[in-house]
Structure 1
Amino acid sequence: MNKQTIIVALSVIIFIAAVVAAAYILGSNNSQDNQQADHPDGHHEGQSVYEEKFNALMGQEALDFELYSYEGEKIRLQEQRGKKVVLFFTEGVMCYPSCWNQIAAFGKDEAFKKEDTVVFSIVVDTKNEWKRAIDKMPELGVSTVLIDASKSISKEYGVLSLPSSMHKGQFPGHTYLIVDKDGVIRFIKDDPQMAVRNDELKAELEKLN
C-alpha cells in the first residue's frame, strides 16, 4: 500500500468518525430537548413518578367504579353525584392499628353522616378477611367498607406505590381523596404518618358547596 493510498484511507476513517460523533451529539441534544418538552419543570423534587401521577388527579373527574360493600350492597361512584364523597384507600387488615383507627373514626363522627356526605373506606381484603377484623374491633362494622380484593380500583387510582404504602406496588397504604358533588376530585392526600385525619377532611368538605 503506497503513501497516497494510506492518506486517503485515513481521511475516510476520520470523516466517518466525525459523522458518527456529530450524529451522537445531535441525538443526545434531541433526547434532552424531548425530555424537557415532556417535563418542562422536570420531576418535582423528591417526588416519584407514582406521586406525580397521583397528584395529577386533582381537578379531574373521578374514575368511576363499582364495588360491593362488606354488607353486600353494590356501590357505584357515579351514582353518588349530588353528594360529597370521601374515599379512603387502605391496606385494610394488615394495617393495624392505624388504618383500623381511621375507619372506626369515620363511623363515630356525625359529620360524615350528613345527608350530602358519604365515606367509603376501600380495602384490598376479601370479605372473610375483613370479617376477622370486625370480630377484633366491632367499631369497624359501623363504617361503609368496600371490598377491592382484586386491587383493580386501587391500581386505577394509582395508590399502590405511594409513600404510605408499606408494600410498594402491592398494597395501598393510607390515602384520601375527596370528590365533589359533580364527580370532580377536589382534595388528595397520601399520609405516610397514617394518622386519623377527620378534622382535616371535614375542613376540606366545608369548602365544597
Structure 2
Amino acid sequence: MDNTSQNKSVFQTFAVLAVALLVFGGIALLVNTNDKSGTPADRAVSPNSNSFGSALIGKPVAEFSLKDRNGVVYTPESLKGKNVVLFFNEGLMCYPACWNQIVALATDGRLQTADTVALSVVTDPANEWQSAIQKMPTLGKATILHDTDKSLSRELGMLAAPSSMHYGSYPGHSFVVIDKQGIVRFVYDDPRMGIDNELIVQELKKLE
C-alpha cells in the first residue's frame, strides 16, 4: 500500500472515531440534562434542602389575611403573642398523607396551647372540605386556612417545595414556624410526607 493510501486510511479511521465521540458525548449530555431537570418526585429525593426557605429565616412573616371554614380571619397581627406553626400542603388531593398530618397537628396537645397554635394552609375553597370532614371526621378538629389565590403559598416559596407533587402549582408538605413576634424561625420541607410533630415540637422548644 502506498503512502497516499495509508494516509487516507488513517484519516478515515480518525474521522469515524471523531464522529462516534461526538454522538456519544451528545447522548451523555442529553441524559445528564434530563436527570437534572427531572420530575417533581425526582427533585424531592433529598430530604430537606438547607436552602429551602432559608431566605425567610429571621424575617417577619409576609403579610396575609386568610379565613378558616367558619369565616374567622387570621393575620400575622392577630397571631402575635403566639408561636405559630403553618403547615402548607396539597389539601384535598393529598389523601391520606396530608390529611393525617393535619389531624396530627390539630390533636397534639403540645401544639395547641395558650401560646402555641398549629394551622394548616390549603389552596382549596372552604366549601369543598365538608366532604373531606365527612370522610375523616377528625379533620373537623383542625383549623384549616384557605389560601385560595395561593398568594401566601407563592410569597413564601411553598409552591417550589421539593415535596410538591405539582411543582410550581401547589404546596407539598412544608412547615413554617413563627415566633410570638411574628418572625420566621424555622422552615422544613418533608418529601417523605410523614408525621413531623416531634421535629416541630423540638423546634418550638428552642423558642422558649
Scaled to the shorter chain, the TM-score interval is: 0.7 to 0.9
> Which residue is equivalent to 2:91?
92
Amino acid of the residue matched to residue 171 of structure 1?
A: Y
Amino acid of the residue matched to residue 201 of structure 1?
A: I
Q: CA deviation at 1:52?
A: 4.1
Q: Which runs of 5+ in 2 are unaligned?
A: 1-44
1 CA distance for matches of 2:118 and 2:125?
19
Amino acid of the residue matched to residue 122 of structure 2?
A: V
Does the CA-based 8 Å contact 1:65-1:78 persist in structure 2?
Answer: no
> Which residue is equivalent to 1:158?
157
1 CA distance for matches of 2:53 and 2:100?
24
> Which residue is equivalent to 1:36?
none
2 CA distance for matches of 1:78 and 1:88?
18
1 CA distance for matches of 2:161 and 2:191?
9
> Which residue is equivalent to 2:103?
104
Does the CA-based 8 Å contact 1:51-1:162 persist in structure 2?
Answer: no
For the residue of structure 2 that corresponds to 1:199, the secondary structure is helix
Pairwise mapping of residues 65-76 of structure 1 onto structure 2 (< 5 A)? 65-76=64-75
> Which residue is equivalent to 1:167?
166
Structure 2 residue 188 is the aligned partner of structure 1 residue 189: yes
2 CA distance for matches of 1:101 and 1:144?
14
Q: CA deviation at 1:130?
A: 1.6
TM-score, normalised via structure 1 length: 0.74
Following superposition, which runs of at least 4 residues in structure 1 exceed 2 angstroms of deviation?
Answer: 50-54
For the residue of structure 2 that corresponds to 1:160, the secondary structure is helix
Does the CA-based 8 Å contact 2:52-2:189 persist in structure 1?
Answer: no
Superposed CA offset, 1:116-144 (max 9, x none) = 00111000101122222111111111011
2 CA distance for matches of 1:126 and 1:186?
29
Q: CA deviation at 1:156?
A: 0.8
In the alignment of these two chains, the number of paired residues is 162
Aligned CA-pair RMSD: 1.8
Structure 2 residue 132 is the aligned partner of structure 1 residue 130: no
Does the CA-based 8 Å contact 2:83-2:116 persist in structure 1?
Answer: yes
2 CA distance for matches of 1:51 and 1:183?
22
Q: Which runs of 5+ in 1 are unaligned?
A: 1-45
Higher relative contact order structure (alpha carbons within 8 Å, sequence separation ≥ 6): 2
Q: CA deviation at 1:78?
A: 2.0
For the residue of structure 1 that corresponds to 2:160, the secondary structure is coil
1 CA distance for matches of 2:96 and 2:52?
28
For the residue of structure 1 that corresponds to 2:119, the secondary structure is strand
Q: CA deviation at 1:53?
A: 6.4
TM-score, normalised via structure 2 length: 0.74
2 CA distance for matches of 1:183 and 1:111?
19
Amino acid of the residue matched to residue 152 of structure 1?
A: S
1 CA distance for matches of 2:90 and 2:50?
18
1 CA distance for matches of 2:120 and 2:161?
17
> Which residue is equivalent to 1:205?
204
